[in-house]
Structure 1
C-alpha cells in the first residue's frame, strides 16, 4: 500500500511470551494502530532482540537500542530569542496519541536493516494509552 520499510527492535530482556506478544503487536497482527501502520510497509526487518536504554526527560530524552538506534532530543529553539520553546499538538481522535509535545533531534541514527540519520528534525514525546481489545 505505501511501499514503506521498517524494523522491529525488542528489548533483549523480554521473555518468550512478551517477545511473541510484542511481535504480534508491532507486525500489525494484533490490530490496533500498528495494524494500520503495518499495512503501509512492504518490507519489515526483525524482530531483533537488543539492549534498550530509554531515559525520559521531556525534550532532553534519549534512546539507545543495541547500537542500531540512537536518539537524543533537545528543545526547539525560538529563532528570535533563542529561548527553549515547547510547542504541542492536540489530536482528540489521534491514532497513536491524543496530545504531544514537540522537540528537535539533536542526534538520530538508525542502522537496523533500514539506515538513515535525521538531525535537527522533528521529535516528540507523548503519554499514550492503547487499550487491549
Structure 2
C-alpha cells in the first residue's frame, strides 16, 4: 500500500463532546469550557482503498484538546486513541489505519495534523445504528463505549424536520456538509486516559465524502432539514 493508492470513503460521522449544545467548535470558536473531551464515530457506507473493500466498517476515537484548533493555536492539539472495527481483516485494518492517521492524504490528513499524541489503536466490535430520517443515532463497543443521541427538537420546531447548520465554519469532516444537531441521551466511553470525568453535552451528525486529493468538499447526503439553524 503506497501513498498513491486511490481510495474513497463515504458515510456517517457523529460526535459526543463535553461542550454545551450546540458545540462552538463547529462554529470555529473555542470550546465551551476551554477544553473539549469527545467521542467521535465514523461509519463507512461505501468505501475502498485500492481493491480493498471498506464498506460497512466503523471507527471510533476517544480524545480531548484545549483551545481553538481552527485558528492555529499552537497548543490546541488533540490527544486521542482509535478503535477500529474488529470485523476488518488485516488488509482492511491497514487501510483504515493509514487513512485515519493521515498517511493517505485528503481530509483525514488535515485532521491527523492536529493530533499531538496518538495514544494507540485497538480493535473491537463496533455496533453502529442510525435512523434513516436522522431521528436518532448511536454507537456501542460492548463494555467500552455506549453513546446514544436523539435529534434535537423543541416547542417551535417541526418534529418531522431536523435542526441543522449549513456551511458550518468548523465542520469536523471538512467543508460543504450539513450538521444535524442532537441531544445526548447516554455517554459512556473507556479506553482513553481522560484528564477528568465529564458528561457529553452536545452531539451532531455530519455525512462525509472523502478522497485522497481533496480537502472534504462534497455535496451532503440529503437529509430532512429545518429552516431554523442552530
Interval of TM-score (by shorter of Structure 1 and Structure 2):
0.7 to 0.9
Between stretches 39-48 and 84-93, larger displacement belongs to 84-93
What's the counterpart of residue 99 of structure 1? 178
What's the counterpart of residue 43 of structure 1? 117
Q: 1:59, 1:102 within 8 Å by CA — same for their partners in 2?
A: no
What's the counterpart of residue 221 of structure 2? none
CA distance in 1, matches of 2:88, 2:112: 22
CA distance in 2, matches of 1:100, 1:125: 6
Rate the CA distance shift 1:26–1:96 in 2: closer, same or farther, 3 A: farther
Greater relative contact order, per chain length (Cα 8 Å cut-off, separation 6+): 2
CA distance in 2, matches of 1:99, 1:38: 22
CA distance in 2, matches of 1:96, 1:67: 34
CA drift of 1:49 comes to 0.5
Q: Could you say which structure has the higher helix fraction?
A: 1
CA drift of 1:43 comes to 1.2
List aligned pairs for 1:31-110, cutoff 5 A: 31-57=105-131, 58-78=134-154, 80=155, 84=159, 86-91=162-167, 95=174, 98-110=177-189
Q: Which runs of 5+ in 2 are unaligned?
A: 1-73, 214-230
1:130 to 210, 224, 227: 210
Q: 2:153, 2:163 within 8 Å by CA — same for their partners in 1?
A: no
Between stretches 49-58 and 64-73, larger displacement belongs to 64-73
CA RMSD after TM alignment: 2.6
> Residue 15 in 1 paired to residue 95 in 2?
no
TM-score scaled by length of structure 1: 0.81
Give the secondary structure class of the aligned counterpart of 2:111: helix
Between stretches 59-68 and 80-89, larger displacement belongs to 80-89
